[in-house]
Protein backbone atom coordinates (compact mmCIF):
# COMPACT_ATOMS: atom_id res chain seq x y z
CA UNK A 1 0.00 0.00 0.00
CA UNK A 2 1.18 3.54 -0.72
CA UNK A 3 1.13 5.57 2.49
CA UNK A 4 1.68 9.34 2.52
CA UNK A 5 3.73 10.55 5.47
CA UNK A 6 4.85 13.96 6.69
CA UNK A 7 6.35 15.64 9.72
CA UNK A 8 7.67 18.91 10.99
CA UNK A 9 11.24 19.30 12.22
CA UNK A 10 10.45 17.78 15.64
CA UNK A 11 9.03 14.64 14.02
CA UNK A 12 11.73 14.33 11.35
CA UNK A 13 13.88 11.75 13.16
CA UNK A 14 10.91 9.51 14.02
CA UNK A 15 9.56 9.92 10.47
CA UNK A 16 12.84 8.57 9.06
CA UNK A 17 12.48 5.48 11.26
CA UNK A 18 8.77 5.17 10.39
CA UNK A 19 9.54 5.15 6.66
CA UNK A 20 11.97 2.25 7.14
CA UNK A 21 9.35 0.38 9.19
CA UNK A 22 6.72 0.88 6.47
CA UNK A 23 9.10 -0.48 3.85
CA UNK A 24 9.94 -3.46 6.08
CA UNK A 25 6.19 -4.16 6.37
CA UNK A 26 5.87 -4.10 2.56
CA UNK A 27 4.41 -0.61 2.14
CA UNK A 28 5.60 2.35 0.10
CA UNK A 29 5.89 5.61 2.05
CA UNK A 30 5.55 8.84 0.08
CA UNK A 31 7.33 11.59 2.00
CA UNK A 32 5.80 15.08 1.87
CA UNK A 33 8.43 16.62 4.16
CA UNK A 34 9.94 18.07 6.18
CA UNK A 35 13.19 16.83 4.73
CA UNK A 36 15.50 17.88 7.56
CA UNK A 37 15.43 19.08 11.16
CA UNK A 38 15.35 22.81 10.40
CA UNK A 39 12.42 24.53 12.11
CA UNK A 40 9.21 24.57 10.05
CA UNK A 41 5.47 24.97 10.68
CA UNK A 42 3.67 21.63 11.08
CA UNK A 43 0.41 22.71 9.33
CA UNK A 44 2.28 23.16 6.04
CA UNK A 45 3.13 19.46 6.04
CA UNK A 46 0.05 18.04 7.74
CA UNK A 47 -2.17 19.41 4.96
CA UNK A 48 -0.24 17.47 2.31
CA UNK A 49 -1.19 14.11 3.82
CA UNK A 50 -4.64 15.22 5.02
CA UNK A 51 -5.72 16.47 1.58
CA UNK A 52 -4.72 13.20 -0.04
CA UNK A 53 -6.60 11.08 2.50
CA UNK A 54 -9.60 13.43 2.50
CA UNK A 55 -9.88 13.23 -1.32
CA UNK A 56 -9.63 9.43 -1.31
CA UNK A 57 -6.35 9.44 -3.23
CA UNK A 58 -4.88 7.40 -0.36
CA UNK A 59 -6.68 5.24 2.19
CA UNK A 60 -4.47 6.08 5.16
CA UNK A 61 -1.65 8.42 6.16
CA UNK A 62 0.84 9.07 8.93
CA UNK A 63 1.76 12.43 10.48
CA UNK A 64 4.37 13.30 13.07
CA UNK A 65 5.33 16.38 15.05
CA UNK A 66 6.88 16.91 18.46
CA UNK A 67 3.78 15.97 20.45
CA UNK A 68 1.56 14.67 17.64
CA UNK A 69 -1.13 17.12 18.73
CA UNK A 70 -0.54 19.90 16.21
CA UNK A 71 -0.66 17.66 13.15
CA UNK A 72 -3.72 15.89 14.60
CA UNK A 73 -5.58 19.18 15.07
CA UNK A 74 -4.70 20.20 11.52
CA UNK A 75 -5.72 16.87 9.97
CA UNK A 76 -9.07 16.81 11.74
CA UNK A 77 -10.11 20.03 9.99
CA UNK A 78 -10.78 17.88 6.91
CA UNK A 79 -14.30 16.40 6.79
CA UNK A 80 -13.33 12.88 5.69
CA UNK A 81 -10.29 12.59 7.93
CA UNK A 82 -10.42 10.74 11.22
CA UNK A 83 -6.99 11.46 12.67
CA UNK A 84 -5.97 9.98 15.99
CA UNK A 85 -3.13 10.80 18.33
CA UNK A 86 -1.44 7.46 18.90
CA UNK A 87 1.29 6.87 21.45
CA UNK A 88 1.19 3.10 22.05
CA UNK A 89 0.13 -0.09 20.31
CA UNK A 90 -3.17 -0.54 22.20
CA UNK A 91 -4.32 2.95 21.26
CA UNK A 92 -3.27 2.25 17.66
CA UNK A 93 -5.41 -0.88 17.58
CA UNK A 94 -8.47 0.78 19.15
CA UNK A 95 -8.37 3.83 16.87
CA UNK A 96 -8.76 1.50 13.90
CA UNK A 97 -11.06 -1.08 15.52
CA UNK A 98 -13.63 1.42 16.87
CA UNK A 99 -12.94 4.73 15.11
CA UNK A 100 -11.59 3.59 11.74
CA UNK A 101 -8.89 6.25 11.98
CA UNK A 102 -7.47 6.93 8.55
CA UNK A 103 -4.53 9.02 9.77
CA UNK A 104 -2.39 8.36 12.79
CA UNK A 105 -0.53 11.21 14.41
CA UNK A 106 2.59 10.24 16.28
CA UNK A 107 4.54 12.13 18.96
CA UNK A 108 7.96 12.26 17.35
CA UNK A 109 9.87 13.38 20.41
CA UNK A 110 8.48 10.57 22.56
CA UNK A 111 9.00 7.82 19.97
CA UNK A 112 12.09 8.84 17.98
CA UNK A 113 14.40 6.46 19.87
CA UNK A 114 11.88 3.63 20.28
CA UNK A 115 11.95 1.77 16.98
CA UNK A 116 10.35 -1.40 18.37
CA UNK A 117 7.45 0.58 19.84
CA UNK A 118 7.02 2.53 16.60
CA UNK A 119 6.89 -0.71 14.64
CA UNK A 120 4.34 -2.20 17.03
CA UNK A 121 2.18 0.93 16.78
CA UNK A 122 2.29 1.05 12.99
CA UNK A 123 1.73 -2.66 12.41
CA UNK A 124 -1.12 -2.80 14.95
CA UNK A 125 -2.85 0.13 13.28
CA UNK A 126 -2.40 -1.11 9.72
CA UNK A 127 -3.26 -4.73 10.51
CA UNK A 128 -6.38 -4.04 12.59
CA UNK A 129 -9.68 -4.22 10.74
CA UNK A 130 -12.48 -1.77 11.51
CA UNK A 131 -15.11 -3.54 13.59
CA UNK A 132 -18.07 -1.75 12.00
CA UNK A 133 -21.48 -2.38 13.57
CA UNK A 134 -22.38 0.18 16.22
CA UNK A 135 -19.12 2.02 15.44
CA UNK A 136 -20.35 2.74 11.91
CA UNK A 137 -23.25 4.73 13.33
CA UNK A 138 -20.86 6.84 15.38
CA UNK A 139 -18.57 7.56 12.46
CA UNK A 140 -21.60 8.56 10.39
CA UNK A 141 -22.55 11.00 13.16
CA UNK A 142 -19.07 12.54 13.05
CA UNK A 143 -19.37 12.97 9.29
CA UNK A 144 -22.84 14.54 9.65
CA UNK A 145 -21.62 16.96 12.31
CA UNK A 146 -18.63 17.90 10.19
CA UNK A 147 -20.80 18.42 7.11
CA UNK A 148 -23.32 20.52 9.05
CA UNK A 149 -20.64 22.75 10.57
CA UNK A 150 -18.97 23.33 7.20
CA UNK A 151 -22.32 24.44 5.70
CA UNK A 152 -22.58 27.38 8.11
Closest CA to 30 of 4, 64, 69: 4
Q: What is the pLDDT of residue 142?
A: 82
Cα distance between residue 151 and residue 49, in whole Å: 24
- Tell me what pLDDT residue 148 has: 62
Catalytic residue among 58, 65, 72, 105: 65
Residue 152: predicted pLDDT: 52
CATH, residue 16: 3.40.1400.10
**Beta-strand (E) ranges in the chain?**
2-7, 28-31, 61-65, 83-85, 103-107
**With pLDDT > 90 as the criterion, what percentage of the chain qualifies?**
87
Residue 119: which domain range? 2-150
Q: Is the pLDDT of residue 25 over 70?
A: yes
pTM value is 0.94
For the chain, give the mean pLDDT.
94
Domain count, the chain: 1
Chain segment 50-73, per-residue pLDDT in tens = 999 999 999 999 999 999 999 999
- Average pLDDT estimate for 103-108: 98
Model confidence band, residue 150 (pLDDT cutoffs 50, 70, 90):
low
Q: How far apart are CA 71 and CA 132, in angstroms?
A: 26
For the stretch 71-87, pLDDT in tens is 999 999 999 999 999 99
- Residues facing 7 on adjacent strands: 64
Rounded to 10°, the helix 89-97/115-127 angle is 10
Q: Is 65 an active-site residue?
A: yes
Amino acid sequence: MIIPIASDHAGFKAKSVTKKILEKLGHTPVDFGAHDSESVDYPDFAVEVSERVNSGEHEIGILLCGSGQGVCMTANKYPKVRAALVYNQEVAKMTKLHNNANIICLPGRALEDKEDELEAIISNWIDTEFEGGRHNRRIEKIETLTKNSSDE
